[in-house]
Structure 1
C-alpha cells in the first residue's frame, strides 16, 4: 500500500501520517532483525512492537493486545526494560552448520528460568493471560526457550491487522515483506512459520543447553 491508498474513515491526516510512520518503523525493525540478527536487533524490535501498539491505538484505533504472540513479546520487553543487565543471556544463533532441522535460519534462545521469571513479574491481573500466551507462542525445550517463531508469527498478525485497517505502509522493507506475503498467498502457502526444531544428533535439549552454555 502507498500513502495515497484509502484509509480508515474518520482518521485525520495527522493520524494517518502518524500511523503510517509507526507501521513503517515496525517493518524496518523487523527487516533489520531478519537480515542481520543479533541481540541488539532483537531488543530494538521488541521496543518497536511495544511502541507501535501504543501509537497505533492512539492514531488509528488499532492494537495488538489480543494477539498471543504480542502478549508474549510484551512480557519479554517489559522484563528486559527493568532488567537490562540480563540481556546478555539471550543467544541469537544461526542454524546453518548445526545438526538441526527447522524452517528458520536462526534461533533466539533464552533460559527457561528467565522466561518464567518474566511471566511471574507480569501484573497480577494479566499473569494468567501472559502465561497462556507464552506457553502457546514460545517453543520450550528443556531448560531453553526459542522465542524466534513467536516474533515471526507476530509480524504476520500485525501486518494483516494494518492492511485490514487500511494503514498505509511505505518503505523498502514493507515493500519486500508485501511481495513475500503476496507470493505465499498466490502459492497457497502459510504465512506463519512452524519454527519447531529437531536434531539428528541425540538429545535436542542437551544440544540447546550446550549452545546456551
Structure 2
C-alpha cells in the first residue's frame, strides 16, 4: 500500500506512526545505548505490531531505567517480578529476562569495541542504500540480517532472529528501506553519506 503523499505505506495515518516514520525510521543511529534500546524494543515486538511498542515506548523507558544497560545488567528476579506487574509495558517473562541478559552481552561488546562499531562494521560503516519501488519488494530478512542475528546469539543475545534484526537494521538506518517514492528516501540517503 502506497500513500498519496508518497510516504511508505506502512506508516498509515496515525500521527504517532507518521511522526516515527518521518523523523526516526531509517535515520542512521550511532549511539551505542540508543542502538541497544532499539534492538531490545524490536525484541519485545516479536509477535506484536510495532505501533503497540511505539505507544508504550515511554512506559518502557521509565520501567527499564532509561534503557541504561549498565543498570539493567545488575537486575535479578526482584526486578523481573516488578516488570511483570507493570501494565504499561509488554509483560512477557522471556522478553524481560532476555533484556537483562542482553544488557550483559551489550556490556561485553561495548568494552571490546563499542556496540555501535560492532553493528556498523556489518555494513562496512555506512548504510546500505536500497531502491525499493514498492513495499512488496522489501525483504523481511536478508543473508546479512541472518549473519548479524547468528553473531548476536553467539554473544549471548536473545530475541534477535533474522527478521527482528532486519527490522532493527531498517529502523536504525543500517539499511535505507524508505521507498524511492517516499520523501524520506533521499533525505535519509544524504544522512548516510556523512559518516
TM-score of the pair, normalised by structure 2: 0.34
User: Higher Cα Rg: structure 1 or 2?
Assistant: 1
TM-score of the pair, normalised by structure 1: 0.32
